[in-house]
């Protein structure tokens, strides 16, 4: 995603072209999105949203594995359709606005659930399979996420990902917690993999805290 684009023969800064100040990452609220939708040059508006969404995904990729993967795939699919001329500029703009609202809703969901950012990341790892959500429910998944963070956080070291023995111990501990709360056995292997991958994103902060 380049910062500049060509409009009417001139290379212009995407935010200046939009007549908007460069926003802080994560303020893709309804008012801002309405302003973007109302911009005269729809290609400028689409470029602006693409940049903001990619910036936001860079932040989420360092904190929330599942969210960053899900939204990155959706963004890639939308942009591919646009570049292949399967959808128009107006259509891609609407798809990007829809995606921005989904990302905002994902952030607010964590607040509504009363979870910290780290807890949301582990909750999402556990809820990546819809069958698990249906079988367990939000309240039980919240309990599992909280216990996983408490126990994994106490167990990780900076180099734990390089030590198979350490990984094996944490893998067993995660599975024991899932069993404790009745997480569906047929979904546990995939959940353990996702939880460990999520822990790898956060463990450096934890190990040096």
Mind listing the pLDDT tens digit of every residue in the chain (209 residues)? 334 333 333 334 555 655 655 555 455 678 888 888 888 888 988 988 898 899 999 999 999 999 999 999 999 999 999 999 999 999 999 999 999 999 988 888 888 888 888 899 999 999 998 899 999 999 999 999 999 999 988 877 766 766 777 788 888 999 999 999 999 999 999 999 999 899 888 876 665 55
Helix (H) or strand (E) holding 13: strand 10-13
d(CA 61, CA 149): 18
Map residue 114 onto helix, strand or coil.
coil
The structure tokens listed for 103 are: 């990302």
Tell me the whole-structure pTM to 2 decimals: 0.80
Within 8 A by CB and 6+ apart from 6, the residues are 12
Q: Which two tokens stand for residue 188?
A: 């546990």
First to last CA, the chain: 34
Q: Are residues 174 and 192 in contact, defined by beta-carbon separation less than 8 angstroms?
A: yes
pLDDT of residue 81: 96
Whats the size of the chain, residue-wise?
Answer: 209
pLDDT score recorded for residue 181: 94
pLDDT of residue 12: 41
User: Alpha carbon of 60 to those of 70, 79, 121, 125, 150: distances in Å?
Assistant: 11, 19, 10, 13, 21
pLDDT at 199: 87
């Amino acid at each position: 995603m380049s910062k500049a684009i060509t409009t009417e023969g001139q290379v212009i800064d995407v935010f200046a072209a939009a007549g908007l100040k460069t926003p802080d990452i994560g303020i893709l609220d309804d008012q801002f999105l309405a302003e973007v939708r109302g911009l005269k040059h729809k290609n400028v508006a689409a470029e602006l949203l693409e940049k903001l969404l990619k910036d936001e995904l860079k932040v989420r990729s360092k904190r929330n594995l599942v969210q960053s993967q899900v939204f990155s795939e959706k963004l890639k699919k939308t942009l591919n359709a646009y570049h292949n001329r399967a959808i128009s500029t107006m259509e891609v703009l609407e798809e990007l606005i829809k995606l921005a609202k989904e990302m905002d809703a994902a952030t607010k969901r964590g607040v509504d659930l009363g979870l910290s950012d780290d807890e949301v990341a582990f909750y999402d790892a556990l809820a990546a399979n819809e069958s698990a959500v249906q079988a367990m429910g939000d309240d039980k998944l919240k309990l599992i996420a909280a216990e996983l963070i408490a126990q994994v956080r106490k167990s990780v070291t900076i180099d734990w990902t390089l030590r198979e023995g350490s990984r094996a111990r944490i893998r067993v501990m995660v599975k024991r917690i899932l069993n404790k709360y009745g997480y569906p056995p047929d979904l546990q292997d995939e959940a353990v993999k996702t939880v460990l991958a999520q822990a790898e994103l956060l463990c450096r902060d934890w190990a040096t805290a």
